[in-house]
Structure formats: C-alpha cells, structure tokens
C-alpha cells in the first residue's frame, strides 16, 4: 500500500493525506483522524527512500568499521557504545547504518556514504593520536562526532570522551597507596588516542610517587585475550616481576588472570589486577570496597551522548563544534586489589 493507493481509497488527494500524516496544521481535524485510521487499517508506511529523496534527509547515521579495527569491534565496549548510540538515534527517529571496509580505507567509505546520500551524519570511533579522518570529515562538510579525541588535531571538531588519563592515573595511585612499586601496564595499541592518554595517566602517577617507569612492565597491543595472556605470562617470568597489573579491557583481563593462574600464583594475593572497561558497580552494594573506576556503563552513556550531540548538529546546522568529557567512575574490588606485597 502506497500513498497513491491510500489516497484513492480515501477519496482524497495525496497531498492532503501526506499532510495529515505528517502533522501539518492546515488539515481538518476530522480529515486527519479519518486518514490516520485508514493508514493504520491498511498498514500504510511511507517508503523511506521516496521520502528521503523528496526531503533530502536520510534519517540515518553512518558508522564504519574497518578490517584493522576488527579487534576493537570485538571489544565489548564497542557493543556498549553501539547500544547507547542506537538508543539515542531511535529517540529521534534515526537509525544506524554500518559499513565495512578493508584496511584503512575508511575515508573513502565516509566520502561515498555522504555523496550517495546514505547518511545525515557520521560517528567516528577510536581515533588515532594523529588521525587524518577528522580533517577529511571536516572537508566533507558532513556533521560528525568523534567518540574520543585526537591529540594532534588542532582544528575544532565535536567529540565525546571519557577521561581515560585520569582513570588510569587514579588506578595507579590507588595501587601505589597499597604499597605496590612494580606495577605493570597492559595497554591497547598506543596509536589510538585513548590508549596514549591511559599511558600518560599511568606515567604521571608513577612520576608523582617517584617511581621510575620500567619498559619491561609496559606493553601495548590489540586488546585480545591471547595478548593479555602472553604479556602477563612474560612479565611474571622476569627477575623482578610485577605485583600489580593494570589492564585496559575485559578481554585482555581474562588472559591476564589465566596467565597468573598458570604461573601458580593467586590473583588478589600474589598479584593485584585492575581492569578498566569493566563493570564493577555492583561491588558497591553492601561491600566495603574502595571506590574507583568502571566504564562499561560510561561507554554506553557516551553512546547516548554522541547520538544526541550529532542529531542536534544535524537539525541545527549553525551550532559549532561541541565537546563533552565524562569522568569514569572507578570501582576496585577488595580482593582484587588488596594484595600482599
């Protein structure tokens, strides 16, 4: 059932029916009710492509995942972010389109999405420290919001980010307060801006405590379980092994724990583990835990915020770049952190 058929069935013009359905004020209230009833009865829904062609709006937000970001994708925080974003989109009648490109051809994908008229706005995830995609998107003139920041980009752009530096700094400080001196960092790929910031926070805390950083205790790679496992395993074998491990994601944390177990050690007794991108908020209920950081829920919140910011930009093209920095809550489980050193 299309508009033509519906209007014929009603004995009205397409114009009137369209107006009635789109809430235009000039249509007679009785007519509107009649039209709405018929639309419901015939299960009429306007064709989105025709509508988009006529209005010039797609009501779609574009996301791109590339082969190289696949591990990032598989990271649970990707799902959390998407869950939040999609929810935010839905609130305003938008949906999300996801495209996949090999390698780092994302810029081409963005350009095509825009010139094909597929999207009204774009979300960029996991920017690098120096990310040309941001300038490319600016040049395209399409509204976009970055989840995260790109340190080396000086021109203004819109972003929503979690304060990763502060989270890691606080987590490290917390371990230092417990008496740890040998604290390992199992970080993500440090081309990624958020990973670099995490490292900066870690280093800052060490410096403030007068602890010299040790390269043997710092790793950086794709956040997989195997990476967490190998990194922790290797570190635990050195002469002066870490007594605490700070790891960036749920996934790598699982590998870290497995490596500790395999080394015959006990998590929380021999080695402390703090995991970012983890949801420990439940530990706050009725347990005497020191409060510190959790971000799975922050990431979902970030998704919702990105959606709202982007849609605001789309529907109000005059408003300039906006930014938003979220503080992650830090929660550390007692047994996990209170190691004997």
Structure tokens at 313: 């930009």
Q: What's the longest Cα–Cα distance across the chain?
A: 87
Determine contact, residues 314/143, Cβ cutoff 8 Å.
yes
Number of residues engaging a second copy in binding (CB under 8 A) = 68
Of the candidates 14, 32, 68, 73, which one interacts with a second copy according to CB under 8 A?
Answer: 73
> Nearest Cα to 155, choosing from 174, 139, 177?
139
CA–CA separation, 257 vs 95, rounded Å? 39
Contact assessment for residue 248 and residue 277, using Cβ atoms and an 8 Å cutoff: yes
Binding partner of residue 12 among a second copy, DNA, none, CB cut-off 5 to 8 Å per kind: DNA
The pattern of x and - marking residues 266 through 305 that bind a second copy according to CB under 8 A reads xxx------x--xxx-x-------------x---x-----
Does position 50 bind a second copy by CB under 8 A? Answer: yes
Given the complex with DNA, which of 12 and 332 has the nearer CB atom?
12
Residue 229 in contact with a second copy, rule: CB under 8 A: yes
Identify whether the C-beta of residue 71 lies closer than 8 Å to the C-beta of residue 224: yes
Strands 329-330 and 293-294: antiparallel
> Binder to DNA among 9, 31, 112, 178 (CB under 7 A)?
31
Would you say 13 or 152 has its CB closer to DNA?
Answer: 13
2 scored as a contact of DNA (CB under 7 A):
yes
As a whole number of angstroms, the distance between CA 171 and CA 46 comes to 52
Distance CA 257, CA 271 (A): 9
Single out the segment in contact with a second copy by CB under 8 A; choices: 53-61, 170-178, 188-196, 315-323. Answer: 53-61
Q: Which of residues 141-200 bind a second copy (CB under 8 A)?
A: none
Q: Give the residue among 221, 208, 265 at the shortest CA–CA distance from 241.
A: 265
End-to-end CA distance of the chain: 73
Where do contacts with a second copy occur on this chain (CB under 8 A)?
1, 43-50, 52-53, 58, 60, 65, 70, 73-76, 78-80, 82-83, 86-87, 89-90, 95-101, 111-112, 115-118, 224-226, 229-230, 250-251, 253-254, 257-258, 261-262, 266-268, 275, 278-280, 282, 296, 300, 333-336
Where do contacts with DNA occur on this chain (CB under 7 A)?
2-4, 11-16, 18-19, 21-22, 25-28, 31, 44-47, 50-51, 53-56
């Amino acid at each position: 059932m299309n508009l033509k058929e519906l209007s014929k069935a009603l004995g009205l013009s397409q114009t009137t029916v369209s107006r009635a359905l789109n809430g235009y004020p000039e249509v007679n209230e009785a007519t509107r009710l009649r039209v709405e009833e018929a639309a419901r009865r015939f299960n009429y829904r306007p064709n989105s492509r025709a509508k988009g062609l006529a209005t010039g709006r797609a009501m779609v937000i574009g996301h791109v995942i590339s082969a190289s970001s696949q591990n990032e994708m598989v990271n649970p925080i990707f799902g959390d972010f998407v869950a939040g974003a999609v929810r935010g989109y839905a609130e305003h009648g938008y949906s999300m389109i996801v495209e996949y490109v090999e390698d780092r051809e994302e810029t081409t994908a963005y350009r095509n999405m825009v010139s094909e008229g597929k999207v009204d706005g774009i979300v960029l995830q996991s920017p690098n420290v120096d990310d040309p995609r941001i300038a490319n998107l600016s040049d395209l003139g399409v509204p976009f919001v970055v989840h995260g920041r790109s340190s080396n980009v000086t021109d203004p752009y819109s972003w929503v980010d979690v304060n990763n530096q502060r989270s890691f700094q606080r987590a490290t400080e917390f371990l230092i307060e417990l008496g740890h001196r040998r604290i390992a960092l199992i970080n993500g790929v440090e081309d990624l801006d958020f990973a670099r910031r995490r490292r900066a926070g870690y280093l800052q805390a060490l410096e403030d405590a007068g602890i010299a950083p040790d390269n043997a205790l710092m790793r950086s790679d794709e956040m997989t379980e195997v990476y967490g496992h190998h990194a922790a395993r290797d570190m635990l074998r050195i002469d002066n092994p870490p007594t605490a491990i700070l790891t960036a994601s749920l996934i790598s944390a699982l590998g870290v724990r497995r490596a500790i177990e395999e080394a015959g050690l006990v998590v929380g007794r021999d080695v402390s583990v703090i995991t970012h991108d983890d949801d420990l908020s439940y530990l706050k209920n009725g347990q005497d835990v020191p409060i510190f950081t959790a971000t799975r829920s922050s990431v979902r919140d970030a998704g919702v915020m990105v959606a709202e910011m982007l849609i605001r930009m789309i529907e109000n093209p005059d408003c300039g770049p906006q930014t938003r920095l979220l503080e992650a809550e830090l929660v550390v489980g007692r047994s996990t952190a209170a190691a004997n050193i």
